[in-house]
Amino acid sequence: MLSHNALRAFDCSKVIISRRCLTSSTSIYQQSSVHLQETDGGHSGNREKHVSPFERVQNLAADLKNELKAPDSDINEVFNDFKDKIESLKQKLRNPSPMERSHLLANFSSDLLQELSYRSKNMTLDPYQVLNTLCQYKLARSQHFTIVLKYLLYNQSPQDVIALWVKYLETISENPVILLQNSSSRAHMQNIAITTIAYLSLPENTVDINILYKILQIDRKMGQVLPFNMIRRMLNTEFSSLERRDVIIKNLNTLYYQYTVQDSDHFLSQIENAPRWIDLRDLYGQYNKLEGEKNVEIISNFMDKFIDLDKPDQVVTIYNQYSKVFPNSTSLKDCLLRAVSHLRAKSSKEKLDRILAVWNSVIKPGDNIKNTSYATLVNALTDSGNFNHLKEFWEEELPKKFKKDPIVKEAFLLALCQTSPLKYDQVKGELAETVKTKKLFNKVLLLMLDDEKVSEEQFNTFYYNHYPSDGVLPPTLDTLSIKMYANYKFQAEDTRPQFDLLQSVSINPTDYEKVEKITKAFISVCPTVEPIRQLYKQLGTHLNARNYADFISAEFNKPDGTVAEAKNLFSDFLSYQKTRKRNVDNTPLNALLLGFCDKLYKSKHSEYVPYIEKYYNLAKDSSIRVSNLAVSKILFNLATFARNTQQLSDKEVAFINQFMRDLGTNEGFRPNPKDIQILKECDGITVPEKLT
């Protein structure tokens, strides 16, 4: 374990690293060959050899790695040999940059630090000493600091973690490019997470997020925030055995609550940009269990987003909980009104009855009905399929002063856009100078892109009037995805294949969380599959299972998508999965099954049944869980196909019977009785008694 004196000694080493950074080892090789000051004792008169510094560094790194991996290796000897050889090489190279930028040397240094972290309890040498040497020779990377920070935290030295973090920041300020080169894209965020855990584990510490921001040098004005999800994952995995873990978790919750209060705008943007309901559920679960006074605006935003992600039942549950805490909140009542318009019902008339019941019993009894409530009623009537009733309400019941209200007027204009095939020319005259409703703004952007008469200049003028290019008011990812498609659309045909989609909206492909969210949004707004395929190619290795699922779905949902390309994408995913040390994710396979079900339903062609059988059996054989949604779709489509087919083939009968036997043992799924009844009436189909 390192003492404070040891860490102070670190400061005695002044690290000066060149700011120049070559982009690859190949460019280093091509750029120059330097004279190595090297002579043979027996042949001092020989000419100097022209040797590639890149090759010399590569050979040195390979030798050191072999020495470390040898069965009888002594780490102390390896480390001493490393220092001697590095010093020798440094003296011989006129330009040390190939050594400082070597991938292989960086990887060897990581291996040495990792090995030492495991063995250091019984050794005089510790990882800190190695890191100090790496800094002296300008070889340190973010990942090397990560290893030592973890080592210190494992050894219950939170003060030393924070001290090393300070040194890490100093090194970044001196050498920002060199330090981060060859590091994992997540290394810096990992270092922030580890240091945060160390701060939370300090004895007798009163958690203060502002103090932590100063330690970490996080700039809230730049949108920088703590990586809470990464911190929680670390505490649940590699740091699950830390002493006083219960105290750390409690302090983390306190820190999270302070974040939701002080950085509420950023927290609200997280809610707004949650791509899937499961992400929103996790975010809400974290907020809901926090101690302290809740923010009704945050609660309302959660409710709105749950509706957008088709989870109105969750909204009713939240309303029942928080209506007692905020009994006079208009926003909660408005969200309930929206939610009931989205609940499942047998008809639009049943939905209308629910809407009127909430309006008359929850909202109307108030003395002063607000414009937001009238706007919500407009949205509810539209979403429930009661547009005729909406027109009657607008003409006969809505007070005149609210017809001119911008919020109510925009809600009605959005309803017209959603229920009628309007063109941009028909809408633009009704728009105010500034559109306040995000959904209407996005809809107008899409109408502009659908109008060939709208120029790039007109589009950008409208867009930047609402979201200036200075970034002070950041757009939602849904809006940004439309802008990304617009940037592509307005490119000349011959330049589109080279056009960098993410770069056009200033998104770093290594920002995996943001990439995942905007990928889903971008796919939803693209009218054709071509720009989607281009984004897929540009993402390269910056993909996760959810991305693959979205791209697969696009091949089925977009008019020019193909089954062949969907299958190729799934093959790519399987290849990608082999490189991951985790179980196969089920989302791409479920997307494939849902796509083939949709093809079968629309085409009524038997050619899609074998595909469903093939990938369903693959899921079974690979122990991949088929989602309940996919199971229900398979059941419905097999039942529909069987009812509409005069004579099922033997293979089709065999598959349907196998599927029914599987359903009989699926305790977590309740089949639709109508589908079961249809299959019972089909020749050759045997339905297990448990399902009848």
User: pLDDT tens for residues 30-48?
Assistant: 333 333 333 344 444 444 4
Q: How many CB atoms lie within 10 A of CB 404?
A: 8
Alpha carbons 60 and 491: distance in angstroms, whole number: 48
- pLDDT value for 138: 85
Residue 90 in contact with residue 96, Cβ under 8 Å?
A: yes
Element (H, E) at 280: helix 277-288
Domain span holding position 650? 610-692
- In angstroms, the CA 238 to CA 36 distance is 45
Q: Which SS3 state, helix, strand or coil, does residue 261 take?
A: helix
- Please compute Rg for the chain using Cα positions: 31
Percent of all residues in the chain with a pLDDT value above 70, rounded to a whole number: 90
| In-domain check, residue 254 | no
Mean pLDDT of 533-561: 93
Q: Over the stretch 102-125, which tens digit does the pLDDT of each residue have?
A: 888 888 999 999 988 887 666 778
DSSP 488-548: HHTS-TTTGGG--TTGGGT--TT-HHHHHHHHHHHHHH-SSSHHHHHHHHHHTT---HHHH
User: Rounded distance, CA 239 to CA 245, Å?
Assistant: 8
Per-residue model confidence (pLDDT) at position 60: 87
Pure H helices in 237-276: 245-262, 264-272
Give the integer Cα–Cα distance in Å for 458 and 473.
20
Write the pLDDT tens digit of every residue in 410-428.
999 999 999 988 999 999 9
Examine the domain organization and report whether 21 and 155 are in the same domain. yes
Name the domain boundary from 159, 184, 209.
184
Residue 512 belongs to a domain: yes
Instruction: Give yes or no: residues 576 and 662 share one domain.
Output: no
pLDDT recorded at residue 345: 93
106 and 8, same domain (yes or no) = yes
The first and second tokens of residue 77, run together, are 């000897």
* 568 within domain boundaries: yes
Q: Which residue did the predictor score with more confidence, 469 or 238?
A: 238
Residue 683's CB is within 10 A of a number of other CB atoms, namely 8
Give the Cα separation of 270 and 259 in Å (integer): 12
DSSP state of 184: -
pLDDT in tens, 183-204: 666 788 999 999 999 999 999 8
Dihedral of alpha carbons 528, 531, 537, 538, sign: negative
- DSSP structural state of residue 181: T
Q: Quick one: tokens of 116?
A: 């030492």
Mean pLDDT of 21-25: 32
Sole residue written with tokens 């706007």: 375
- Residue 594 within a domain: no
Place of tokens 């093959």: 571
CB 305 within 8 A of CB 280: yes
Instruction: Please report which confidence band the pLDDT of residue 27 belongs to, taking 50, 70 and 90 as the band edges.
Output: very low
- pLDDT at residue 19 is higher than 80: no
**φ/ψ (deg, to 5) at 124:** -80, -30
Concatenating the DSSP letter of every residue in 563-624 gives HHHHHHHHHHHHHHHHTSSSPPPSHHHHHHHHHHHHHHHHH--GGGHHHHHHHHHHHHHTTP
In this prediction, residue 186 carries a pLDDT of 79
- Residue 428: strand, helix, or coil: helix
For the chain, the domain total comes to 3
Residue owning tokens 């003296």 = 91
Show the tokens assigned to 53: 């510094």
- Residues recorded for the chain: 692
- Candidates 692, 587, 603, 600; CA nearest to 655 is 600
Give bridge partners of residue 50 from the DSSP assignment: 35
Residue type, 256: Y
Is pLDDT of 623 > 60? yes
Regarding whether 2 and 132 lie in a shared domain, the answer is yes
- Is 132 within the bounds of a domain? yes
pLDDT at 183: 64
Instruction: Let me know whether 664 and 528 are in one domain.
Output: no
- Cα(346)–Cα(349) distance, rounded to whole angstroms? 8
Cα 307 to Cα 439: distance, rounded to the nearest angstrom: 14
Q: 509-534 as b/e, with b when 16 or more CB fall inside 10 Å?
A: beeeebbbbbbbbbbebbeebebbbb
Q: Structure tokens of 59?
A: 């050979």
Domain final residue, candidates 184, 202, 219: 184
What local confidence, expressed as pLDDT, does residue 483 receive?
97
Q: Determine how many CB atoms are found less than 10 A away from the CB of residue 562.
A: 12
pLDDT at 636 over 60: yes
CB 402 within 8 Å of CB 371: yes
Q: Which of 4-13, 332-341, 398-407, 539-548 has the highest mean pLDDT?
A: 332-341
In a domain, 166, yes or no: yes
- 678 and 555 in a common domain: no
Which residues lie closer than 8 Å to 181 by C-beta, 6 or more apart? 21, 101, 106, 141
Write down the pLDDT at residue 225.
Answer: 87
List, in sequence order, every residue forming a beta bridge with 51; answer none if it has no partner: 34
Alpha carbon of 170 to those of 102, 166, 196: distances in Å? 22, 6, 18
Instruction: Give CA–CA dist 669/663, Å, rounded.
Output: 8
Domain membership of residue 68 (yes or no) is yes
Whether residue 552 is found in the same domain as residue 641: no
Q: Where are the beta strands (DSSP E) in 12-57?
A: 34-35, 50-51
Q: Quote the pLDDT of residue 14.
A: 33
Cβ–Cβ < 8 Å for 100, 178: yes
* Amino acid, single-letter form, for residue 671: P
Helix residue ranges per DSSP H, 155-186: 158-174, 176-180
Q: Which residue has the higher pLDDT, 551 or 219?
A: 551
Position 456: which residue type? E
d(CA 477, CA 505): 10
Let me know whether 150 and 7 are in one domain.
Answer: yes
Query: Which residues contact residue 250 at a Cβ distance below 8 angstroms, ignoring those fewer than 6 apart?
Result: none
Residue in 104, 79, 118 with CA at minimum distance from that of residue 28: 104
User: What is the C-alpha to C-alpha distance for residues 664 and 691, in angstroms, rounded to an integer?
Assistant: 6
Residue 547, both tokens: 């991305």
Please report whether residue 81 resides in a domain.
yes
Residues 135 and 174 in one domain: yes
Residue 361 has a pLDDT of: 95
101 and 12 housed in the same domain? yes
* Element containing residue 413 per DSSP (H, E): helix 406-419
Q: Are residues 680 and 540 in the same domain?
A: no
* Residue finishing a domain among 136, 159, 184: 184
- HSE-CB at 157 with a 13 A cutoff on CA atoms is 19
Chain-centroid distance of CA 101 in Å reads 30
Shared domain check, 652 and 517: no
Give the tens place of pLDDT for each residue, 256-277. Answer: 999 999 999 999 999 999 988 9
Phi, psi of 446 (to 5 degrees): -65, -35
pLDDT, position 180? 65
Return the DSSP state at 25. H
Cα–Cα distance, 172 to 225 (Å, whole number): 19
Do 200 and 251 form a contact (C-beta atoms < 8 A)?
A: yes
d(CA 12, CA 7): 9
Mean pLDDT of 323-329: 94
The enclosing domain of 116 has a CATH number of 1.25.40
Tell me the pLDDT of the chain averaged across its residues.
88
pLDDT of residue 74 exceeding 70, the answer is yes
Tell me how far apart the alpha carbons of residues 69 and 72 are, in angstroms, rounded to a whole number: 8
